[in-house]
């Protein structure tokens, strides 16, 4: 047992990593570009779009970093919807994999401790819109992640995910369980479409100082900037995807 105070369990991750590796290489045939943009030391906030549905998005991002030996001694943590922690088994698995409820304070504390934190600010809206808009990003929350980065001084690493998205079975199950669909992990694997992960160059915001978090104009501007960078990477990845299947 090597869990830390957050409930992250490195042994558990080691145990399930063959499974995650199989999903990574065989099922979704993930290709990850720009993993070097994640800083080798110190805190960082990875901001990604929601594409495959949680917890698979976070798991594959973490697997990508692990396979490229980035932050090997300090695997990334991720923020998950609070409702996910109401579920039996899934709550425990999420926590052991590095998931933390997206409550105020949690992300700030993780960054203060120097961890890499992955967040998916699209939240429930992420894969909500119809099929035609599936690669168009939704508004990235209300800029909470920008405030977080400004307060902690951590760089923002934009990250684009192109994936198949949750399948129809997922939607039906979620409706039956009456849960908000995308952020809540369901024991259903998204379709084996080809995935692309692209990390972008980090956006350093530390020079604005922690007080800039109160500056709404700046927060919105930086939020738009990150959204644009992620969207651009999504389109790039689509072009280079070599077909969905």
Partner 1 sequence: MAGRRVLITGVANPFGARLADRLAADAAVERVVGVDTRPVDPELAERIDVVAADLRSAELPPLVRAAAVDTVVHNDIVQFPELGRPRAAIHDVNVIGTLQLLTVCGGLPTLRAIVVRGSAAIYGSEPAAPAFFTEEDADRFPLRTRFQRDIGELERLVGAFARRHPTVRCTVLRLQPVVGRDFDTPVNRLLRAPVVPTVLGYDPRVQVLDAEDAVGALRRAVLHPVRGPVNVAADGVVSLSRALRHARSPALPIAAPLWGPLVSAARRAVGQPALPDEIARYLRYGRGVDTTRMRGELRFEPEHSTLEALARATGFERPQADRRHQNARPDAPRR
Q: Which of 40, 69, 88, 243 binds partner 1 (CB under 8 A)?
A: 88
For residue 168, state whether it binds partner 1 (rule: CB under 8 A). no
Rounded CA gap, 18 and 97, in Å? 14
**H helices, E strands: number in the chain:** 7, 7
Give the Cα separation of 1 and 207 in Å (integer). 40
**89 makes contact with partner 1 (CB under 8 A):** yes
CA distances, 75 to each of 26, 41, 112, 193, 229 (Å):
22, 11, 15, 26, 24
According to the binding rule CB under 8 A, does residue 100 interact with partner 1?
A: yes
Q: Judged by CB under 8 A, which stretch of 45-53, 78-86, 155-163, 236-244 contacts partner 1?
A: 78-86
4-43: which residues touch partner 1 (CB under 8 A)?
5-7, 9
Q: Looking at 83-91, 126-134, 162-170, 193-201, which segment touches partner 1 (CB under 8 A)? A: 83-91
Smallest separation (angstroms) from partner 1 to the CB of 87: 8
Using CA atoms, how far apart are residues 34 and 184, in angstroms rounded to an integer? 28
Q: Which of residues 105-144 bind partner 1 (CB under 8 A)?
A: 105-106, 109
Minimum distance from residue 4 beta carbon to partner 1 (Å): 9
- Told to check if 176 binds partner 1 by CB under 8 A, we report no
C-beta closer to partner 1: residue 92 or 231? 92
The DSSP 8-state label assigned to residue 115 in this structure reads -
Distance CA 179, CA 185 (A): 10
Our finding on whether 83 is near partner 1 (CB under 8 A) is: yes
First to last CA, the chain: 39
């Amino acid at each position: 047992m090597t869990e830390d105070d957050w409930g992250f369990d490195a042994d558990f991750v080691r145990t399930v990593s063959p499974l995650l590796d199989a999903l990574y290489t065989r099922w979704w045939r993930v290709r990850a570009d720009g993993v070097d943009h994640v800083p080798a030391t110190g805190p960082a906030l990875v901001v990604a779009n929601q594409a495959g549905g949680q917890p698979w998005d976070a798991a594959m991002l973490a697997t990508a970093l692990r396979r490229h030996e980035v932050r090997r001694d300090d695997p990334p943590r991720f923020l998950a919807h609070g409702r996910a922690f109401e579920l039996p088994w899934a709550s425990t698995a999420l926590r052991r994999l590095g998931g933390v409820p997206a409550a105020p304070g949690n992300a700030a504390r993780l960054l203060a401790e120097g961890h890499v934190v992955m967040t998916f600010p699209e939240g429930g809206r992420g894969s909500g819109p119809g099929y035609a808009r599936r690669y168009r990003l939704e508004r990235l929350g209300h800029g909470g992640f920008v405030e977080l980065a400004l307060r902690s001084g951590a760089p923002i690493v934009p990250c684009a995910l192109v994936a198949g998205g949750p399948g129809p079975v997922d939607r039906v199950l979620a409706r039956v369980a009456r849960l908000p669909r995308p952020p809540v992990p369901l024991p259903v694997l998204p379709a084996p479409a080809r995935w692309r992960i692209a990390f972008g160059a980090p956006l350093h915001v530390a020079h604005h100082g922690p007080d800039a978090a109160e500056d709404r104009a700046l927060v919105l501007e930086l939020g738009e900037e990150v959204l644009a960078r992620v969207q651009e990477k999504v389109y790039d990845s689509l072009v280079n995807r070599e077909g969905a299947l």
